[in-house]
């Protein structure tokens, strides 16, 4: 009999409350080191997953952990150091453990000394650091490598808020650079550079001295190579025309450590305006790595060559024989990169052979690498336009295979580019796209293709053959695609007179569509095809009128009450410029204007003017702005969460507080790994973010229309930085891409509830169907007062208090809270909540809910339970 063994994660379904209960074992008279280690591990896992402890919980855990100092178990002591560093609640509690840590810092056990130094530097303030500075300076040159590294790494973290103390250790740090221990030397080099990072001249001097010294550590040598590459890039940008330290990089290609060799080769190929002569030694080294027995070296070298092939295909062509040998590599990622590199460097005669080899393993690789292959094929087709048939057929074949949105979008975009740049590829490309939309599951791609068919289809030799594909979309697809298909059909009717009668018949069938926009479009286009509303030629007119100007003109037209028809020609086409505030009168951080909160009505007006958001419908609710950065940081980013019927819009209000920089192409990358019900539909970047000005970038998330999707969203600000020239006051032409980590964004139940009070709660309660009533009891634990419990429940539910029930009388032992609100979709909901508190300040609660929809009434209880 065969028995299958299943393994489970020790962290599966653990909860904070249960772990805090287990933490009571820290107080046992006889400590069990193994059990305590397991509990600390669980606690640290919860903290790394984003769980937070209240001040009271943190204090209890902290005081319990300090008792574990009695144990002599070395492994438990190491865990104690970790938990103290991560759970330390505040300055008042730090003093309790400081004496023990200082005692460990002078211990004879190197492990205790190093960990005590790390913890002390993490939890103490500047005053205490000044008291132990002498010990830290001595530890930098300690014979024990683990102790010296602990101080150097801690100093790197201290630079952010205690840089003056660290700067006084320069002599000891320079002595540590000469250490015989590799890790100590690595950390010392990193710290020296961090101390000089803001001074270009100082960095250049540091690099000069280090290149002349004997840096034995391979990791430190890699750091030095990166610093050298930085100096080379800055000297090239300044227009000096020289390559300082290039000889040093070339000498690193002969280093005994493969890590240093690869780092030097990568630095050479990434140099700005690098020549083929400078590339040659690096390409030779990377070519040798292609035949290495180590997969990591083969992958690193082929990926680097792949990037070089984009700008210097001729230099990489010498490695083609070795790259062809990698096509059959067992690692499909390496094989993919080899194929795409060959596509960029290969000749015209090898196209068909390469496509055949690619097709054999396309189904075995991830979508990310498939996109790389598609982009390489697109570049090859533009390079050899006479091979468009073979390449277009390959793209159409992979378009029919399974894949995600980004992969399909990359293929469609490639076909669109080929149609635009290669005239002979237009009709075959349109034919392939018509076949694709027959079973396309992505609305965005379908509407994009239908728009292209409307623009290019009427100009082909046989435009009638596309009508069937377009009309099928009106019958089979969703409302958005149907509306796009109606517009595409109308363009055929406007531009091809022979097809106009047939188009009229097809559009007339759309007059009975379920969606109002589809019906409106069909009505408008039929009127234009019949000679009204501007005639058929009006259908193909490009819309170039700003929506705000059109709205203003229409309001004026309605107010005048004239009988004359409205004339679009009277609408001004110039976009009104917002007045700029004078920023020259002030300077420094104090002069930067903070983003001011915008009223809800202004949100509606601002969002209505964005064409890309026209399809999301009316705005249901906008949350208060939430700051995602610290106020004193260089970028102030606040998020406003807007709720629509089937979408969630994240509006990021961005302020640049760095006077010497201008940010361009500013956007926010949102991580949806912890909120799987959401799907990102589009991102609208901010073109330019100048000093002191406030701008907006948007991310639109789609969610199931009938669901209240919740989750935590990671956010990362991405932008291009351009320095301001002090002499001219203008931004430099060249910039560099950078990113900035933001705080997570929580989409909770309260986002979907709008606080709408009722004037007579009792009457509204009686008028709501009693059959929808759901009642249940809950325990809220220990609270400071009933008022604290009332405010906590109100913040969770996001509903409006009625009849002044949000105010709890002093010293009351019980209270009733009346709440009213509307759920998304404008479904009203009511809640009557009774609170009671005992002598031990334990609060009990009874929630009774009613709504016109039973599901909403039940959902109020689900919010409390979660």
CA dist., res. 146 & res. 142, Å (int): 9
Q: If pLDDT is split at 50, 70 and 90, which confidence band does 85 have? A: confident
Name the β-bridge partners of 638: 627, 653
285 neighbors 305 (Cβ within 8 angstroms): no
For the chain, give the percent of residues with pLDDT over 90. Answer: 8
Which of these CATH numbers, 3.40.50.150, 3.40.50.720, 3.40.640.10, 3.30.310.10, describes 751-865?
3.30.310.10
Does residue 313 have a pLDDT over 50?
A: yes
Angle between helices 133-140 and 145-158 (to 10 degrees): 130
∠ Cα 61 64 70 (to 5°)? 145
Range name among 411-425, 587-601, 633-647 with the lowest pLDDT average: 587-601
Question: 462: buried, middle or exposed (CB in 10 Å: 19+, 13-18, 0-12)?
Answer: exposed
Diameter of the chain measured on Cα atoms = 97
Read off the pLDDT of each residue in 103-132 and give the average, rounded to a whole number.
82
Q: What is the pLDDT of residue 597?
A: 34
User: How far is the C-alpha of 807 from the C-alpha of 790, rounded, in Å?
Assistant: 8
Q: Are 628 and 657 spatial neighbours (Cβ–Cβ below 8 Å)?
A: no
Q: For residue 331, name the pLDDT band (cuts at 50, 70, 90).
A: confident
What's the confidence (pLDDT) of residue 349?
A: 66
Alpha carbons within 13 angstroms on the beta-carbon side of residue 206 total 28
Please give the structure tokens belonging to residue 250: 């070339």
Q: Label residue 543 exposed, middle or buried (CB < 10 Å: 0-12, 13-18, 19+).
A: exposed
β pairing state of 800-801 and 842-851:
unpaired
pLDDT tens sequence across 743-778:
888 887 778 888 888 877 888 888 888 888 888 888
Q: Which residues of 841-850 are buried (b: 16+ CB within 10 A; e: fewer)?
A: eebbbebbbb
What DSSP letter does each residue of 82-114 carry, written as one string? HHHHHH---HHHHHHHHHHHHHHHT-S-HHHHH
Which residue has better confidence, 410 or 361? Answer: 410
Pair of tokens at residue 809: 């009388």
Report the C-alpha gap between 475 and 518 in whole angstroms.
Answer: 12
- Is residue 494 within 8 Å of residue 528, measured between CB atoms? yes
Over residues 187-192, the mean pLDDT reads 91
Q: Where are the alpha helices (DSSP H) in 106-180?
A: 110-123, 126-131, 133-140, 145-158, 163-167, 170-177
CB 280 within 8 A of CB 256: no
> pLDDT band for position 584 (50/70/90)?
very low
- Distance between CA atoms of residues 453 and 459, nearest Å: 10
SS3 715: strand
**Distance from C-alpha of 461 to C-alpha of 476, rounded to nearest angstrom:** 27
Q: For residue 168, what are the contacts with CB-CB under 8 A and spacing of at least 6?
A: 133, 137
Axis-axis angle for helices 332-345, 351-359 (nearest 10):
160
pLDDT band at 586 (very low <50, low <70, confident <90, very high): very low
- Burial of 305 by CB count in 10 Å (0-12 exposed, 13-18 middle, 19+ buried)? buried
pLDDT at site 411: 85
pLDDT digits (tens, 9 = 90+) for 20-37: 888 888 888 888 888 898
Cross-strand partners of 448: none
* Cα gap 213→299, rounded to integer Å: 32
Taking only the tens place, the pLDDT of each residue in 434-445 is 888 888 888 888
Which region holds residue 781: left if phi is over 0, alpha if psi is between -120 and 50, else beta? left
Between residues 52 and 348, the one the model is more confident about:
52
pLDDT band at 183 (very low <50, low <70, confident <90, very high): very high
Mean pLDDT to the nearest integer, 486-507:
88
What are the pLDDT digits (tens) for 699-751? 999 888 767 788 888 888 888 888 887 777 677 777 888 888 888 888 877 78
Three-class DSSP category at 656: strand
State the average pLDDT for the chain. Answer: 81
Give dist(CA 746, CA 167) in Å, integer.
Answer: 40
Residues in the chain: 866
Write down the domain spans for the chain: 199-274, 446-542, 609-747, 751-865
Do 135 and 105 contact (CB within 8 A), yes or no?
yes
Q: Cβ(792)–Cβ(860) under 8 Å?
A: no
Confidence of residue 579 (pLDDT cuts 50, 70, 90): very low
Closest alpha carbon to 720 in 688, 768, 761, 674: 688
- The reported pLDDT for the residue numbered 299 is 93
Q: Distance between CA atoms of 191 and 175, rounded to whole angstroms?
A: 12
What pLDDT score does 130 carry? 79
Backbone angles phi, psi at 520, to 5 degrees: -65, -40
First to last CA, the chain: 43
* Per-residue pLDDT at 9: 67
pLDDT tens-place string over residues 60-76: 888 888 888 778 888 88
Handedness of CA 789, 793, 795, 801 (dihedral sign): negative
- The 10s digit of each residue's pLDDT in 38-48 is 888 988 888 88
Query: 121 CB contacts (<8 Å, ≥6 apart)?
Result: 129, 136, 151, 154, 155, 157, 158
Written as six digits, the tokens of 189 are 């080099």
Q: State the pLDDT at residue 573.
A: 62
CATH code of domain 609-747:
2.60.40.1480
CA atoms within 13 A on the CB side of 662: 16
pLDDT tops 70 at residue 11: yes
pLDDT at 282: 92
Rounded CA separation 679/671 (Å): 10
- Pairs from 728-733 (Cβ < 8 Å, separation ≥ 24): 731/662
Is pTM, for the whole model, over 0.75?
no
Which of 327-331, 680-684, 699-703 is least confident?
327-331
């Amino acid at each position: 009999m065969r028995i299958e063994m299943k393994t489970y994660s020790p962290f599966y379904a653990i909860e904070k409350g249960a772990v805090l209960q287990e933490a009571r074992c820290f107080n046992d008279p006889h400590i069990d080191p193994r059990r305590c280690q397991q509990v600390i591990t669980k606690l640290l896992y919860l903290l790394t997953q984003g769980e937070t402890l209240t001040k009271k919980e943190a204090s209890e855990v902290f005081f319990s952990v300090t008792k574990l100092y009695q144990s002599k178990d070395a492994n438990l002591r190491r865990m104690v150091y970790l938990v103290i560093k991560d759970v330390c609640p505040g300055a008042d509690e730090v003093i309790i453990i400081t004496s023990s840590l200082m005692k460990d810092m002078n211990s004879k056990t190197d492990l205790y000394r190093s960990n005590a130094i790390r913890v002390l530097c993490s939890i103490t303030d500047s005053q205490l650091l000044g008291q132990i500075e002498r010990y830290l300076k001595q530890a930098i040159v300690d014979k024990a490598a683990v102790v010296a590294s602990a101080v150097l790494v801690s100093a790197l973290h201290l630079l952010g808020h205690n840089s003056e103390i660290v700067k006084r250790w320069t002599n000891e740090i320079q002595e540590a650079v000469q250490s015989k221990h590799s890790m100590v030397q690595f950390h010392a080099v990193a710290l020296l550079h961090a101390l000089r990072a803001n001074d270009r001249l100082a960095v250049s001097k540091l690099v000069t001295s280090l290149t002349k010294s004997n840096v034995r550590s391979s990791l430190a040598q890699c750091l030095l190579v990166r610093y050298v590459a930085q100096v080379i890039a800055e000297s090239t940008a300044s227009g000096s025309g020289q390559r300082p330290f290039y000889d040093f990089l070339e000498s690193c290609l002969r280093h005994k450590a493969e890590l240093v060799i690869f780092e030097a080769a990568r630095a050479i190929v990434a140099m700005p305006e690098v020549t083929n002569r400078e590339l040659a030694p690096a390409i030779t080294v990377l070519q040798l790595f292609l035949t290495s027995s180590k997969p990591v070296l083969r992958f690193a070298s082929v990926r680097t060559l792949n990037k070089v092939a984009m700008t210097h295909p001729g230099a990489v062509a010498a490695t083609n024989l070795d790259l062809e040998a990698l096509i059959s590599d067992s690692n499909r990622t390496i094989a993919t990169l080899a194929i795409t590199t060959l596509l960029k460097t290969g000749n015209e005669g090898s196209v068909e052979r390469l496509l055949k080899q690619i097709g054999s393993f396309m189904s075995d690789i991830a979508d990310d690498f498939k996109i790389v292959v598609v982009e390489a094929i697109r570049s090859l087709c533009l390079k050899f336009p006479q091979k468009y048939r073979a390449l277009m057929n390959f793209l159409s074949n992979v378009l029919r295979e399974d894949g995600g949105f980004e992969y399909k979008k990359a293929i469609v975009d490639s076909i669109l580019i080929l149609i635009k740049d290669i005239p002979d590829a237009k009709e075959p490309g349109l034919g392939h796209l018509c076949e694709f939309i027959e079973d396309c599951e992505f609305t965005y791609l379908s509407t994009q293709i239908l728009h292209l068919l409307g623009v290019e289809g009427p100009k082909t030799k046989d435009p009638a053959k596309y009508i069937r594909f377009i009309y099928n979309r009106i019958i089979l697809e969703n409302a958005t695609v149907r509306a796009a298909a109606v517009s595409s059909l109308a363009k055929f009717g406007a531009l091809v007179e022979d097809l106009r009668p047939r188009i009229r018949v097809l559009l007339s069938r759309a007059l009975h569509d379920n969606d109002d926009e589809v019906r409106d479009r069909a009505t408008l286009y039929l009127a234009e095809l019949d000679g009204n509303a501007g005639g058929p030629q009006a259908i193909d007119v490009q819309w170039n009128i700003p929506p705000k100007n059109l709205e203003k003109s229409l309001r004026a037209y309605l107010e005048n009450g004239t009988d004359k028809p409205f004339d679009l020609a009277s609408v001004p086409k110039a976009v009104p410029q917002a007045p700029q505030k004078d920023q020259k009168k002030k300077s420094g951080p104090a002069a930067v204007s903070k983003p001011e909160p915008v009223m809800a009505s202004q949100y509606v007006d601002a969002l209505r003017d964005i064409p890309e958001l026209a399809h999301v419908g009316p705005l249901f609710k906008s949350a208060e702005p939430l700051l995602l950065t610290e106020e004193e940081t260089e970028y102030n980013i606040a998020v406003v969460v807007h709720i629509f019927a089937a979408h969630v819009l994240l509006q990021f209000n961005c302020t640049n507080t760095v006077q010497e920089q201008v940010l361009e192409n500013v956007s926010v990358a949102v991580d949806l790994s912890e909120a799987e019900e959401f799907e990102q539909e589009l991102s609208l970047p901010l073109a330019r973010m100048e000093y002191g000005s406030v701008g907006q970038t948007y991310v639109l998330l789609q969610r199931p229309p009938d669901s209240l999707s919740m989750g935590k969203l990671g956010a990362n600000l991405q932008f291009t930085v351009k320095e301001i020239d002090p002499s001219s006051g203008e931004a430099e032409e060249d910039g560099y891409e950078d990113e900035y980590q933001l705080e997570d964004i929580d989409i909770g139940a309260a986002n979907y509830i709008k606080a709408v009070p009722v004037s007579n709660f009792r009457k509204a309660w009686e008028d709501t169907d009693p059959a929808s009533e759901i009642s249940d009891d809950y325990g809220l634990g220990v609270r400071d007062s009933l008022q604290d419990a009332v405010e906590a429940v109100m913040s969770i539910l996001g509903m409006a208090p009625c009849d002044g029930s949000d105010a709890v009388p002093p010293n009351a032992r019980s209270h009733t809270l009346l709440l009213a609100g509307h759920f998304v979709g404008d479904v009203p909901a009511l809640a009557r909540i009774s609170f009671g508190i005992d002598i031990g300040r334990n609060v009990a609660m009874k929630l009774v809910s009613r709504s016109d929809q039973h599901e909403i009434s039940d959902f109020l209880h689900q919010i409390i339970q979660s």
